[in-house]
Amino acid sequence: MKGIGVAVPPVIIVAGPTASGKSALALVLAEAFGGTVINADSMQVYRDLFLLTARPDAAALARAPHRLYGFLEAGEEICSVARWLVLAHAAVQEAHGAGRLPIVVGGTGLYLEALRHGLALVPEVPAAVRAKTRDLMAVIGPHAFHARLAERDPVMAARLRPSDPQRLQRAWEVLMASGRSLADWQGAAVMEGMRARFCSLMLMPPRPVLRAACDTRLRCMVAAGAVAEVAALLARAVPSDRPILKALGVSALADHIRGRCSLEEAVMAAQGATRRYAKRQCTWFRHHLTDARVIADASMPDEALALVGSFLQAPP
């Protein structure tokens, strides 16, 4: 890692929407600069759904060290931002200790934001409170849930939309468990972000290219065995609130497996969900990763290689 400073070590971030080519670009950078690829995707942390979550295959793993992929069981709780941040700190430190360049890659924006800027410390919520919150959402629905949150916690309600039930539930359960608004906790103590020099690359293909990539990749996943993969997951009777069941494509393919739609209808539904998710990711990254260098085409890595090379040669 020629040119790397010791006092403030470097970390490369490769961000962007799903199907934009992040993993491929991160692997090229890892080979060029002696890097370790560190996962920042909230679905790729699980062992299940290797195909549908697009985890790196054996060939990729042989080309460079990879960390934080496939280490959790599907039935486990969510890999929260706080949990991931602790693990990511350790993985980055391991890479630096081995004389390698940490390359953090993924599309989970909250992971990347916490790595760079830190995270508010929110108390643990008891399982019973989480269960009651899920039941309330299931009974009254997201719009009524949002209205009820607004009565008790208008600050958080103003920040959230009825179309975001996961974060609505999070705000409610923290309020019920602690008696304080999540907004209060977020403004209090924090877990510190990584002390590092960051070089952030953001893959942002033109919209038609990204839409086509989403569609093509989903069909390739199905051809490779994604239906059987989802069937195996369903057979395990994973609790319905587990994050892995929200992975792109699971709901649509599960409908097909249960006889509710044809395979073609399931594929089209999954493609649509993937495109919509990619669009939301693009919007989030444009607003939050404002200092990143935008890369339009991951298949032509010369620009990214030059940017990282110059970054590493610059004085720390």
Boundary of a domain, candidates 188, 218, 235: 188
CB 281 within 8 A of CB 214: no
Looking at the structure, do residues 171 and 70 belong to the same domain, yes or no?
A: no
If you search the block for the tokens 């890595």, which residue do you land on?
301
Q: What is the mean pLDDT of residues 305-314?
A: 95
Q: Could you tell me the pLDDT band of residue 194, with boundaries at 50, 70 and 90?
A: confident
The residue among 52 and 80 whose pLDDT is bigger is 52
In a domain, 4, yes or no: no
How are beta strands 119-120 and 190-191 bridged, if at all?
Answer: antiparallel
Supply the pLDDT for residue 188.
65
Residues 6+ apart with CB under 8 A from 202: 15, 16, 285, 289, 292, 293, 294, 295
Tell me the pLDDT tens digit for each residue of 53-86. Answer: 999 999 999 999 999 999 999 877 678 888 999 9
Domain that holds residue 160: 122-188
pLDDT at 6: 47
Distance between CA atoms of residues 112 and 292, nearest Å:
12
Determine, yes or no, domain membership for 3.
Answer: no
Confirm if 4 and 315 have CB atoms less than 8 A apart.
no
In a shared domain, residues 160 and 14: no
Average pLDDT over residues 162-172: 91
Query: What one-letter code names the amino acid at 5?
Result: G
Q: Write the CB contacts of 53 (distance below 8 Å, at least 6 apart in sequence).
A: 41, 43, 44, 46, 247
In a domain, 2, yes or no: no
- Residue 1 falls inside a structural domain: no
Tell me whether residue 257 is in a domain. yes
- CATH number of residue 153's parent domain: 1.10.20.140
Mean pLDDT, the chain, integer: 92
Handedness of CA 149, 154, 156, 159 (dihedral sign): positive
**Same domain (yes/no): 168, 292:** no
Highest mean pLDDT among 177-181, 185-189, 248-252: 248-252
Maximum alpha-carbon separation in the chain = 60
Helix, strand or coil for residue 36?
strand
Tens digits of per-residue pLDDT, 36-50? 999 999 999 999 999
Q: What does the pLDDT look like over 201-239, one tens digit per residue? A: 999 999 999 999 999 999 999 999 999 999 999 999 888
What number of residues does the chain have?
316
- The one-letter amino acid code at 17 reads P
Burial of 313 (0-12, 13-18, 19+ CB in 10 A): exposed
In a domain, 229, yes or no: yes
Q: How many domains does the chain have?
A: 2
**Domain of 45: which CATH number?**
3.40.50.300
Q: Cβ(137)–Cβ(144) under 8 Å?
A: no
CA–CA distance, 251 with 237 (Å, rounded to integer): 14
Asked whether the predicted pLDDT for residue 33 surpasses 70, the reply is yes
- Clarify whether residues 135 and 84 are in a common domain: no
**54/90 same-domain check:** yes
